[in-house]
Structure 1
Amino acid sequence: LGMEGVRNLWIIKPGAKSRGRGITCSARLEEVLELAEKCTAPSVQPGQWVAQKYVERPLLILGTKCDLRQWLLVTNWNPLTIWFYRDSYVRFCSRPFSLHRLHPSRHLCNVSIQKQWRMQFRLYLQEAGHADAWEKVIVPGMKEAVVAALCSAQELVGARKGSFELYGADFMFGEDCKPWLLEINASPTMAPCSAVTRRLCAAVQRDTLRVVLDQRENSRCSIETWRCGSGAREGQQSW
């Protein structure tokens, strides 16, 4: 409850758009309903929106909201086999966080990524008194959320042998560093839109092929960047 705040603020996302298009924040039901009626996306029927309680007390870096993109790979749905990529990247809003000003520049994180920011992110946590947060709170919390989300959809996905799915999971953090899963993107962008993503996206695609192709021929093939886990229907997992 500590992350909710007191303004009853919600973030509203259209069901058939990406890259932050059409997302808005509101604390009034009338505004939410009016917004939903104006959606013109061809594949969206009335009512196909996602409404999430907004994290009003997020972890801020220099007064700015941020989130984190984490890649996931599913190579089998039964039994559920999940791979968690070693590297991730942090994205920032372009203006300081404020609950009194709901402009997207303050609340939607973009791809202005500082090189090597993940290590600086961990350094920031250490300086803020959260030295163990990355290993003991953030990473375990992200894995737990991912397993729970994929387990909830396990019965709805056709288990096709010899196939795989690459996902992009977006997380933000509360003031206590606890991660909150915002969404899992079924078709995460791999565009080289910055120096960091140019390097990371290429590495993810290369290493994914090592998992789904090379390891099939050579079980001893080294894949240091992916960590394999498993999730049963009861939510058990190992990494």
Structure 2
Amino acid sequence: MRKIYVIGIGAGDPDHLTLQAAKAIGRTDVFFLLDKGEAKESMIELRRRIMKAYARPGRRVAEGRDPDRDRTPDDYQGTIADWRHRRSAVTEALISEHLLDDETGAFLVWGDPSLYDSTISILDEILARGETTFTYEVIPGISSVSTLAARHKIGLNRIGRPFQVTTGRRLAEEWPADVDDVVVMLDARQAFGAVDAQDVDIYWGAYLGTPDELLVSGPLAEVSDEIRRVRAEARERHGWIMDTYLLRRRDAG
């Protein structure tokens, strides 16, 4: 039976790779990479550096093209479902063609596989079709959320109070109920601009764990324009950006 590892490799710092992840990489015969285009070549390069450092001699790499998708769809749920279905077809073809019986393959997942990543659900979809068989194991990684808190030297929660992780799309609709600490991911539209900035602090980071890391923090009303400027300049320079932030109401105690 073929086996696949879904390995969280952290937010960008190779030192964030766990011992469990390093050992799994060392047992892998085939690494699967989905190319997102030249603008995100640096993300692929990190994976190549990790493979060079920890993978066994003679390991193979199978690359496929990640399907494009509409980033601002009218039907968000339907668009994502269609994209995942097309992505599962690419993934299944890679597994079928390149992973032999009794071999081990691996997907090196940015951050942690359990947090806003589609790899697990895509593998489940492939298995549900019943045409390609394998077992898989998920190995957790250090997420951008954990890295953000560490870089700003803050806790995500306060004593006796919850926090929530959400997306920029959901934040633009409303601040989540019953929480005063909100971690926001996947925010292409800078939804913090729609928040009532009074008595709210922001802890923002981009390219976390990489040499290009950027950090800004302070009262939202005072630093929101700076974040927009820094973010725009960085995106122009790199061709892509991945950022995360925590919004915190100061009157929560």
More strand by share: 1
Higher-RCO chain (CA-CA 8 Å, sequence separation at least 6): 2
TM-score of the aligned structures, taking structure 1 as reference length: 0.24
- TM-score of the aligned structures, taking structure 2 as reference length: 0.23
Which structure shows the higher helix fraction?
2
